[in-house]
């Protein structure tokens, strides 16, 4: 950071209000002191980190932490990070900011902490530390991100008399923090390049320690005046309690788009007035069983084909029997996909159409498909709902305790598996792309903890926040480059001025860095 400061031009220093030009031996100490003052305001995990703490030393650190003060600092960090990110977005002119309809994709990514990894597990939360960065957490890529060791899993199973816990091998566990990112997506899949796709919000936490962060990011966007439209996530979010993600997002105007666990496909909920929820959408309950199970059937065919593919070393040739099985599985999958398309269209005839957004009291309205071939048969049922509009209310009492009470957990905007859902869900690739971009060594390289040796979660949070701003600026520049290019842009020429349109009124050699920046309308 000190080296970066020393490389700033006079123009850059004026813009950053760092007018002094004398570089002395105290620069490093001054930068360090400034960082420490900032961390003191933001650190939700205060305490010493000068060494690996003993059990007694760690107990003192925990005892001195005030929960309300720590929560306040956590909110400060969240506010600062998202204010910086919003500032980068505000560099765009209003026309580009307003071009977005409010679609975002949300995903989490792991960021390692500096130093020796590891800590005692949940069964020994106050024991001797294994790392000076003692406020991190174990992470594993698959399944739940909060990992435990094999020994801890055995102990927890003995305590609870169950087999609910399974340990994670040391080679699969990583030590650090988790970052959640809300990234803008295109208004429609494959739509022209209308505006830069920027990161709009971030949050930080210990892996597996926090729930509801997805809804918190959407709430932050709403508070900043962003339009809220499609909110695209994976099943790590949709599988939570309906009151922690699905409902809060919809109350803010969000339209949920997500995937399911394999076991959640098919029938999910029932309404006594004659409706059944199938893979996130409501239908007349006269829907035949074969159409109710269509999603499970196509999934089984796809999984069978995946299992038939060769695994292990590519040098090991397939046997003739393996080739035969793989080709047959592929043919079965293609046949199942064709059948599924027909079944999906047939099922859509009995679909209840959403009408408007969810009310503040959680009420949702649907239009009954009176033109369905099964409508007369359905309406003749003794308990069938007789109006063309049906209201689904907030579940109460014991019903509210169900995981998918009233279908709230699994409801989503598009019909799962359809063309609209497939296009929308595909736009989630954008947030996965920014995760990779932030970790690339030629850019922000947040995957390398050796480049941020200051201990503690909060410094890593600050680095990631600034890195996200830099990545946003790069996306803005690349957007303008794509639109101003007069020649084919390649990695070799993407920095040459002659490749891009030039202002004919600009004086050659003019120092643009010395000019005051244009302030876009807000």
Give the model confidence (pLDDT) of 80-118 as tens digits.
999 999 999 999 999 999 999 999 999 999 999 887 677
Angle 380-386-388 (CA atoms, 0-180°, nearest 5)? 120
Give percent of the chain with pLDDT exceeding 90.
57
Range of the domain at 149: 46-233+428-484
Whether residue 398 is found in the same domain as residue 438: no
Query: Contact 217/254 with Cβ under 8 angstroms?
Result: no
Structure tokens belonging to residue 77: 């960090």
Tell me phi and psi for residue 104, to 5 degrees.
-135, 150
Is the Cα dihedral 299, 305, 306, 308 positive or negative?
Answer: positive
Residue 242 in tokens: 């309906």
| Same-domain check for residues 100 and 184 | yes
CA distance 119 to 515: 51
Q: Does residue 127 fall inside a structural domain?
A: yes
113 in any annotated domain: yes
pLDDT on residue 290 = 96
Q: In this structure, are 349 and 454 located in the same domain?
A: no
Residues comprising the chain, all counted: 522
Q: What is the dihedral of CA 381, 384, 388, 390, to 10 degrees?
A: -160
Give dist(CA 411, CA 400) in Å, integer.
15
User: pLDDT of 3-56, one tens digit each?
Assistant: 777 777 778 777 777 766 556 667 788 888 989 999 999 999 999 988 888 888
User: pLDDT band at 416, cuts 50/70/90?
Assistant: very high
What is the pLDDT at residue 167? Answer: 53
Closest to 141 (Cα-Cα) out of 438, 432, 370, 398? 432
How far is the C-alpha of 396 from the C-alpha of 406, rounded, in Å? 9
What was the pLDDT predicted at 31?
A: 84
pLDDT given at position 508: 59
341 and 380 part of one domain? yes
> Which residues touch 320 (CB under 8 Å, ≥6 apart)?
none
Q: What is the pLDDT of residue 147?
A: 46
> Rounded to an integer, what distance in angstroms lies between the CA atom of residue 461 and that of residue 86?
16
Q: Are residues 79 and 157 in the same domain?
A: yes
Structural domains in the chain (count): 2
pLDDT value for 22: 59
Does residue 153 register a pLDDT over 60?
A: no
Rounded distance between C-alpha atoms, residue 183 and residue 189, angstroms? 14
430 alpha-carbon distance from chain centroid: 10
Q: Which of 355-364, 395-404, 445-454, 459-468 has the lowest mean pLDDT?
A: 445-454
| pLDDT of amino acid 365 | 96
According to the model, what pLDDT value does residue 122 have?
Answer: 56
Q: Is residue 60 part of a domain?
A: yes
Taking each helix axis from N to C end, the angle separating 294-308 and 320-348, rounded to the nearest 10 degrees, works out to 160
pLDDT for 210 equals 78
pLDDT of 212 over the 50 cut: yes
Q: Is residue 13 part of a domain?
A: no
Given a cut of 60, is residue 520 above it in pLDDT?
A: no
Q: What is the predicted pLDDT for the residue at 521?
A: 40
Residues 214 and 306 in one domain: no
Does residue 332 lie in a domain region? yes
Q: Of 402, 417, 451, which residue sits at a domain end? A: 402
pLDDT at 183: 97
HSE at residue 212, side-chain half, CA atoms within 13 A, is 9
Task: Judge whether 497 lies within some domain.
Answer: no
Which DSSP category does 292 fall into? H
Predicted pLDDT at 162: 59
pLDDT digits (tens, 9 = 90+) for 316-364: 778 888 888 889 999 999 999 999 999 999 999 999 999 999 999 999 9
- If asked whether residues 221 and 102 sit together in one domain, one would say yes
Shared-domain flag, residues 162 and 275: no
pLDDT of residue 221 exceeding 80, the answer is yes
Residues 426, 189: contact at Cβ < 8 Å? yes
Does the residue 11 lie in any domain? no
Judge whether 377 lies within some domain.
Answer: yes
Interatomic CA distance for residues 278 and 55, integer angstroms = 52
pTM equals 0.86
Q: Work out the angle between the directed axes of helices 457-484 and 67-89 (0-180°, nearest 10).
A: 10
The predicted pLDDT at position 443 comes to: 86
| Contacts by residues 26-35 (CB-CB < 8 Å, ≥ 24 positions apart) | 27/2, 28/2, 31/1, 31/2, 31/5, 35/1, 35/454, 35/459, 35/462
Span 223-274, pLDDT tens digits: 999 999 999 999 989 888 999 999 999 999 999 999 999 999 999 999 999 9
Q: Binning pLDDT at 50, 70 and 90, where does residue 311 land?
A: confident
Three-state SS across 394-427? CCCHHHHHCCCHHHCCCCCCCCCCCHHHHHHHHC
Is 331 in the same domain as 218?
A: no
196 lies in the same domain as 62: yes
Q: What are 54's two structure tokens?
A: 């003993």
Residues 327 and 451 in one domain: no
> Are residues 212 and 304 both part of a single domain?
no
Per-residue pLDDT, 23: 60
Closest CA to 73 of 40, 110, 50, 97: 40
Tokens representing residue 75 in the block: 């909110």
pLDDT mean across residues, the chain: 86
- The answer to whether residue 510 scores a pLDDT higher than 80 is no
Q: Report which of residues 362 and 444 the model is more confident about.
A: 362
Of 164, 192, 272, 240, the closest CA to residue 410 belongs to: 240
């Amino acid at each position: 950071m000190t080296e970066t400061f020393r490389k700033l031009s006079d123009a850059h220093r004026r813009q950053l209000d760092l007018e002094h030009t004398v570089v002395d031996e105290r620069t490093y100490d001054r930068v360090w002191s400034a960082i420490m003052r900032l961390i003191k305001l933001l650190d939700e995990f205060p305490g010493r980190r000068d060494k690996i703490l003993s059990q007694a030393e760690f107990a003192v650190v925990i005892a001195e932490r005030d929960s309300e003060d720590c929560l306040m600092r956590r909110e400060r960090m969240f506010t600062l990070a998202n204010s910086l990110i919003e500032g980068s977005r505000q560099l765009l002119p209003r026309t580009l900011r307003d071009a977005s309809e409010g679609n975002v994709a949300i995903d989490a990514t792991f960021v390692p902490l500096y130093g020796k990894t590891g800590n005692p597990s949940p069964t020994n939360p106050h024991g001797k530390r294994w790392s000076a960065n003692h406020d991190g957490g174990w992470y594993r890529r698959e399944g739940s991100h909060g990992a435990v060791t094999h020994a801890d899993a055995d102990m927890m199973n003995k305590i609870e008399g169950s087999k609910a816990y399974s340990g994670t091998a040391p080679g699969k566990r990583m030590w650090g923090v988790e970052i959640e990112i809300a990234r803008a997506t295109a208004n429609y899949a494959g739509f022209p390049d209308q505006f830069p796709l920027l990161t709009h919000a971030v949050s930080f936490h210990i892996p597996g320690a926090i729930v509801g962060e997805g809804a918190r990011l959407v709430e932050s966007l709403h508070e900043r005046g962003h339009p809220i439209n499609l909110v695209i996530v994976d099943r790590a979010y949709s599988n939570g309690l309906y009151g922690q993600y699905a409902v809060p997002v919809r109350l803010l105007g969000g339209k949920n788009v997500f995937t399911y666990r394999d076991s959640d496909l098919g029938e999910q909920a029932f309404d006594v007035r004659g409706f059944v929820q199938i893979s996130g959408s409501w239908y007349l309950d006269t829907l035949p069983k074969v159409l109710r199970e269509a999603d499970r059937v196509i999934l089984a065919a796809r999984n069978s084909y995946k299992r038939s593919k060769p695994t292990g070393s590519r040098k090991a040739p397939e046997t003739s029997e393996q080739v035969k099985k793989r080709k047959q599985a592929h043919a079965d999958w293609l046949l199942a996909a064709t059948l599924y398309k027909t079944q999906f269209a047939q099922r859509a005839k009995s679909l209840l159409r959403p009408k408007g957004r969810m009310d503040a009291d959680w009420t949702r309205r649907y239009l009954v498909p009176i033109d369905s071939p099964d409508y007369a048969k359905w309406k003749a049922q003794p308990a069938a709902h007789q109006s063309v509009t049906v209201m689904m209310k907030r579940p109460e009492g014991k019903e509210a305790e169900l995981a998918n009470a009233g279908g709230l957990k699994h409801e989503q905007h598009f019909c799962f598996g359809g063309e609209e859902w497939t296009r929308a869900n595909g736009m989630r690739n954008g947030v996965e792309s920014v995760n990779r971009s932030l970790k690339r060594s030629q850019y922000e390289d947040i995957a390398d903890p050796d480049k941020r040796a200051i201990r503690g979660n909060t410094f890593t949070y600050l680095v990631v926040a600034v890195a996200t701003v830099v990545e946003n600026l790069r996306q803005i520049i690349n957007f303008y480059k794509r639109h101003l290019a007069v020649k084919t842009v390649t990695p070799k020429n993407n920095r040459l001025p002659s490749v891009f349109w030039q202002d004919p009124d600009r004086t050659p050699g003019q120092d643009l860095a010395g000019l005051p920046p244009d302030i876009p309308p807000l």
